[in-house]
Amino acid sequence: MRTGERNTAGDASTAARFAALLAAFGPGDTALGVSELARRTGLPKTSVHRLSQHLTEHGLLERDGTALRLGLRLFEIGQLAVRQRGLVDTARPLLADLREATHNTVHLAVLEGTEVVYLDILRGPDAPRLPSRIGGRFPAHATGVGKAILAFSPDDVVEKVIAGGLPRVSRRTITSPVLLRRQLAKVAAEATAYEREESSIGTVCVASPVVDATGYAVAAISVAGWVNRLRTERLAPAVRTAALALSRTV
Protein backbone atom coordinates (compact mmCIF):
# COMPACT_ATOMS: atom_id res chain seq x y z
CA MET A 1 0.00 0.00 0.00
CA ARG A 2 1.36 3.39 -1.02
CA THR A 3 -0.02 5.28 1.93
CA GLY A 4 1.07 2.68 4.46
CA GLU A 5 -0.66 3.85 7.57
CA ARG A 6 -0.36 1.94 10.78
CA ASN A 7 -3.68 0.48 11.65
CA THR A 8 -5.48 2.91 13.88
CA ALA A 9 -7.93 0.29 15.00
CA GLY A 10 -8.53 0.47 18.70
CA ASP A 11 -8.59 4.24 18.76
CA ALA A 12 -12.30 4.58 18.25
CA SER A 13 -12.55 8.34 18.80
CA THR A 14 -14.62 10.03 16.18
CA ALA A 15 -11.86 12.51 15.59
CA ALA A 16 -9.54 9.63 14.84
CA ARG A 17 -11.93 8.42 12.20
CA PHE A 18 -12.11 11.77 10.53
CA ALA A 19 -8.37 12.17 10.62
CA ALA A 20 -7.87 8.68 9.25
CA LEU A 21 -10.27 9.40 6.45
CA LEU A 22 -8.44 12.55 5.44
CA ALA A 23 -5.05 10.88 5.81
CA ALA A 24 -6.14 8.04 3.56
CA PHE A 25 -5.65 10.26 0.55
CA GLY A 26 -2.11 10.11 -0.75
CA PRO A 27 -0.31 12.04 -3.42
CA GLY A 28 -1.19 10.51 -6.74
CA ASP A 29 -4.73 9.69 -5.70
CA THR A 30 -7.27 11.76 -7.53
CA ALA A 31 -10.49 10.35 -6.19
CA LEU A 32 -11.24 7.32 -4.05
CA GLY A 33 -14.33 5.17 -3.63
CA VAL A 34 -15.98 4.22 -0.38
CA SER A 35 -14.64 0.68 -0.46
CA GLU A 36 -11.10 1.79 -1.15
CA LEU A 37 -11.26 4.24 1.72
CA ALA A 38 -12.67 1.56 3.99
CA ARG A 39 -9.79 -0.69 3.04
CA ARG A 40 -7.17 1.96 3.71
CA THR A 41 -8.58 3.17 6.99
CA GLY A 42 -9.67 -0.18 8.33
CA LEU A 43 -13.11 1.27 9.03
CA PRO A 44 -16.33 -0.52 8.12
CA LYS A 45 -17.62 0.48 4.72
CA THR A 46 -20.84 1.70 6.24
CA SER A 47 -19.02 4.01 8.57
CA VAL A 48 -16.92 5.45 5.78
CA HIS A 49 -20.08 6.12 3.88
CA ARG A 50 -21.68 8.01 6.73
CA LEU A 51 -18.55 9.89 7.77
CA SER A 52 -17.81 11.02 4.25
CA GLN A 53 -21.37 12.22 3.92
CA HIS A 54 -20.90 14.43 6.95
CA LEU A 55 -17.55 15.70 5.80
CA THR A 56 -18.95 16.44 2.36
CA GLU A 57 -21.70 18.56 3.88
CA HIS A 58 -19.04 20.85 5.26
CA GLY A 59 -16.79 21.07 2.24
CA LEU A 60 -13.97 19.04 3.72
CA LEU A 61 -14.63 16.33 1.16
CA GLU A 62 -16.15 16.58 -2.29
CA ARG A 63 -18.04 14.13 -4.42
CA ASP A 64 -17.12 13.43 -8.00
CA GLY A 65 -19.90 11.16 -9.11
CA THR A 66 -19.71 8.52 -6.44
CA ALA A 67 -16.02 8.92 -5.76
CA LEU A 68 -14.58 11.20 -3.09
CA ARG A 69 -11.96 13.91 -3.22
CA LEU A 70 -10.41 16.19 -0.64
CA GLY A 71 -12.42 19.38 -0.46
CA LEU A 72 -11.35 22.83 -1.48
CA ARG A 73 -12.03 24.09 2.00
CA LEU A 74 -9.16 21.97 3.23
CA PHE A 75 -6.91 23.90 0.92
CA GLU A 76 -8.18 27.18 2.27
CA ILE A 77 -7.72 26.10 5.86
CA GLY A 78 -4.34 24.63 5.08
CA GLN A 79 -3.14 27.93 3.71
CA LEU A 80 -4.22 29.64 6.91
CA ALA A 81 -2.31 27.04 8.87
CA VAL A 82 1.03 28.02 7.40
CA ARG A 83 0.13 31.66 7.23
CA GLN A 84 -0.29 31.66 11.00
CA ARG A 85 3.38 30.89 11.22
CA GLY A 86 4.13 33.92 9.12
CA LEU A 87 7.20 32.20 7.80
CA VAL A 88 6.03 31.66 4.25
CA ASP A 89 4.96 35.22 3.67
CA THR A 90 8.17 36.78 4.92
CA ALA A 91 10.33 34.16 3.26
CA ARG A 92 8.83 34.49 -0.22
CA PRO A 93 10.79 37.53 -1.40
CA LEU A 94 14.02 36.17 0.06
CA LEU A 95 13.48 32.83 -1.64
CA ALA A 96 12.67 34.55 -4.91
CA ASP A 97 15.92 36.49 -4.76
CA LEU A 98 17.79 33.33 -3.99
CA ARG A 99 16.32 31.57 -6.96
CA GLU A 100 17.06 34.54 -9.17
CA ALA A 101 20.67 34.58 -8.04
CA THR A 102 21.29 30.85 -8.29
CA HIS A 103 18.97 29.76 -11.10
CA ASN A 104 18.23 26.65 -9.09
CA THR A 105 15.40 25.28 -6.99
CA VAL A 106 14.88 26.86 -3.58
CA HIS A 107 13.23 25.15 -0.61
CA LEU A 108 11.67 26.29 2.65
CA ALA A 109 10.92 23.51 5.12
CA VAL A 110 10.15 22.82 8.76
CA LEU A 111 10.66 19.73 10.87
CA GLU A 112 7.79 17.61 12.07
CA GLY A 113 8.69 14.52 14.00
CA THR A 114 11.38 12.74 12.05
CA GLU A 115 10.51 14.29 8.73
CA VAL A 116 10.64 17.66 7.06
CA VAL A 117 7.59 19.26 5.52
CA TYR A 118 8.12 21.59 2.59
CA LEU A 119 6.29 24.88 3.08
CA ASP A 120 7.40 26.48 -0.15
CA ILE A 121 9.36 25.55 -3.23
CA LEU A 122 10.48 27.78 -6.05
CA ARG A 123 11.66 25.70 -8.98
CA GLY A 124 14.68 26.88 -10.89
CA PRO A 125 14.57 27.30 -14.66
CA ASP A 126 17.04 24.54 -15.44
CA ALA A 127 16.40 22.46 -12.35
CA PRO A 128 16.16 18.68 -12.11
CA ARG A 129 12.89 16.96 -11.27
CA LEU A 130 13.25 16.76 -7.52
CA PRO A 131 11.08 14.49 -5.39
CA SER A 132 10.13 17.40 -3.14
CA ARG A 133 6.60 18.74 -3.22
CA ILE A 134 4.95 21.67 -1.47
CA GLY A 135 3.18 20.19 1.51
CA GLY A 136 5.14 16.99 1.03
CA ARG A 137 7.26 15.09 3.53
CA PHE A 138 10.73 13.62 3.46
CA PRO A 139 12.93 11.89 6.04
CA ALA A 140 14.91 14.64 7.75
CA HIS A 141 18.26 12.85 7.83
CA ALA A 142 18.25 12.46 4.05
CA THR A 143 17.84 16.12 3.17
CA GLY A 144 19.89 19.28 3.43
CA VAL A 145 17.12 21.21 5.15
CA GLY A 146 16.58 18.34 7.56
CA LYS A 147 20.21 18.17 8.62
CA ALA A 148 20.35 21.95 8.96
CA ILE A 149 17.39 21.90 11.31
CA LEU A 150 18.55 18.88 13.28
CA ALA A 151 21.96 20.45 13.90
CA PHE A 152 20.19 23.31 15.66
CA SER A 153 17.66 21.27 17.59
CA PRO A 154 17.61 19.86 21.13
CA ASP A 155 19.26 16.47 21.53
CA ASP A 156 16.05 14.57 22.08
CA VAL A 157 14.83 15.61 18.66
CA VAL A 158 17.93 14.12 17.04
CA GLU A 159 17.60 11.04 19.20
CA LYS A 160 14.07 10.53 18.01
CA VAL A 161 15.18 10.71 14.40
CA ILE A 162 17.93 8.18 15.01
CA ALA A 163 15.55 5.97 16.92
CA GLY A 164 13.41 6.06 13.81
CA GLY A 165 16.03 3.94 12.12
CA LEU A 166 17.40 6.34 9.50
CA PRO A 167 15.62 4.69 6.59
CA ARG A 168 17.59 4.55 3.35
CA VAL A 169 16.13 6.78 0.67
CA SER A 170 18.81 6.72 -1.98
CA ARG A 171 22.00 4.73 -2.37
CA ARG A 172 23.93 7.44 -0.52
CA THR A 173 21.56 8.18 2.34
CA ILE A 174 23.30 8.39 5.69
CA THR A 175 22.09 5.40 7.67
CA SER A 176 24.76 5.29 10.34
CA PRO A 177 23.92 7.11 13.58
CA VAL A 178 27.56 7.84 14.35
CA LEU A 179 28.16 9.28 10.90
CA LEU A 180 25.04 11.39 11.16
CA ARG A 181 26.07 12.78 14.52
CA ARG A 182 29.50 13.66 13.20
CA GLN A 183 27.97 15.48 10.26
CA LEU A 184 25.51 17.34 12.43
CA ALA A 185 28.36 18.58 14.63
CA LYS A 186 30.04 20.00 11.56
CA VAL A 187 26.79 21.55 10.38
CA ALA A 188 26.31 23.14 13.77
CA ALA A 189 29.76 24.70 13.52
CA GLU A 190 29.30 26.08 10.01
CA ALA A 191 25.56 26.75 10.09
CA THR A 192 25.52 25.17 6.68
CA ALA A 193 24.46 21.67 5.69
CA TYR A 194 25.41 19.89 2.50
CA GLU A 195 23.65 16.96 0.96
CA ARG A 196 25.20 14.93 -1.84
CA GLU A 197 22.84 12.53 -3.59
CA GLU A 198 21.50 11.36 -0.24
CA SER A 199 17.88 11.94 -1.15
CA SER A 200 18.04 11.51 -4.88
CA ILE A 201 20.87 10.35 -7.10
CA GLY A 202 22.10 13.12 -9.36
CA THR A 203 21.21 16.05 -7.14
CA VAL A 204 22.97 17.98 -4.42
CA CYS A 205 21.82 20.61 -2.00
CA VAL A 206 23.14 23.28 0.35
CA ALA A 207 21.00 24.38 3.28
CA SER A 208 21.06 26.73 6.24
CA PRO A 209 18.85 26.91 9.32
CA VAL A 210 16.43 29.66 10.30
CA VAL A 211 16.77 30.09 14.04
CA ASP A 212 14.65 31.88 16.61
CA ALA A 213 15.78 33.97 19.55
CA THR A 214 16.68 30.89 21.57
CA GLY A 215 19.06 29.70 18.88
CA TYR A 216 16.99 26.66 17.96
CA ALA A 217 15.94 26.08 14.38
CA VAL A 218 12.36 26.71 13.35
CA ALA A 219 12.93 26.06 9.66
CA ALA A 220 15.61 25.85 6.99
CA ILE A 221 16.13 27.02 3.45
CA SER A 222 18.13 25.35 0.74
CA VAL A 223 19.22 25.49 -2.87
CA ALA A 224 19.28 22.24 -4.81
CA GLY A 225 20.45 21.32 -8.29
CA TRP A 226 22.37 18.92 -10.48
CA VAL A 227 25.35 17.24 -8.87
CA ASN A 228 27.73 18.13 -11.65
CA ARG A 229 26.52 21.65 -12.21
CA LEU A 230 25.94 23.08 -8.78
CA ARG A 231 28.97 24.26 -6.84
CA THR A 232 27.55 23.98 -3.35
CA GLU A 233 30.47 25.69 -1.59
CA ARG A 234 30.11 28.69 -3.82
CA LEU A 235 26.41 29.06 -3.07
CA ALA A 236 26.74 28.49 0.65
CA PRO A 237 27.24 32.18 1.54
CA ALA A 238 24.11 33.19 -0.38
CA VAL A 239 21.98 30.57 1.34
CA ARG A 240 23.49 31.41 4.70
CA THR A 241 22.78 35.11 4.20
CA ALA A 242 19.16 34.52 3.28
CA ALA A 243 18.69 32.24 6.29
CA LEU A 244 20.17 34.86 8.58
CA ALA A 245 17.93 37.53 7.15
CA LEU A 246 14.93 35.34 7.75
CA SER A 247 16.09 34.48 11.26
CA ARG A 248 16.11 38.15 12.15
CA THR A 249 12.44 38.58 11.24
CA VAL A 250 11.16 35.55 13.13
End-to-end CA distance of the chain: 40
- CA quadruple 2, 226, 125, 242: dihedral, nearest 10: 90
Decide whether 174 or 220 has the Cβ nearer to its own copies.
220
Give min distance, CB of 1 to DNA, in A.
14
Q: Which partner in its own copies, DNA, none is near 189 (CB below 5 to 8 A by kind)?
A: none
> By rule CB under 8 A, what count of residues binds its own copies?
49
58, interface contact from DNA, its own copies, none, CB < 5-8 Å by kind: its own copies
Q: Are 140 and 111 in contact (CB under 8 A)?
A: yes
55: contact with its own copies by CB under 8 A = yes
Q: Which of 154, 156, 226, 144 is nearest to 187 (CA)?
A: 144
Binding partner of residue 34 among DNA, its own copies, none, CB cut-off 5 to 8 Å per kind: DNA
Is residue 80 within 8 A of residue 196, CB to CB? The reply is no
Binding of its own copies by 15 (CB under 8 A): yes
- The pair phi, psi for residue 120, each rounded to 5°, is -155, 145
Residue 37 one-letter amino acid = L
Which of 52-60, 143-151, 204-212, 240-248 is the region at the interface with its own copies (rule: CB under 8 A)?
52-60
Question: CB under 5 to 8 A by kind: which of its own copies, DNA, none does 29 bind?
Answer: its own copies
CA 72 from centroid of its chain's CA atoms: 21
Check residue 7 for interaction with its own copies (CB under 8 A): no
Neighbours of 234 (CB within 10 A): 10
Q: How many CB atoms lie within 10 A of CB 147?
A: 30
Q: According to CB under 8 A, which residues from 188 to 247 bind its own copies?
A: none
Q: Which residues bind DNA (CB under 7 A)?
A: 12-15, 17, 33-36, 39, 43-47, 49-51, 54, 66-67
Among 35, 46, 54, 182, binds its own copies (CB under 8 A): 54
* No. of helices (H) and no. of strands (E), the chain: 9, 8
Q: What share of the chain is helix, strand, coil (3-state, %, to 5)?
A: 45, 20, 35
Applying CB under 8 A, which part among 130-138, 146-154, 166-174, 203-211 lies near its own copies?
A: 130-138
Q: Which residues here bind its own copies, judged by CB under 8 A?
A: 13-16, 18-19, 22-23, 25-27, 29-31, 51, 54-55, 57-60, 69-84, 86, 92, 110, 112, 117, 119, 123, 133-137
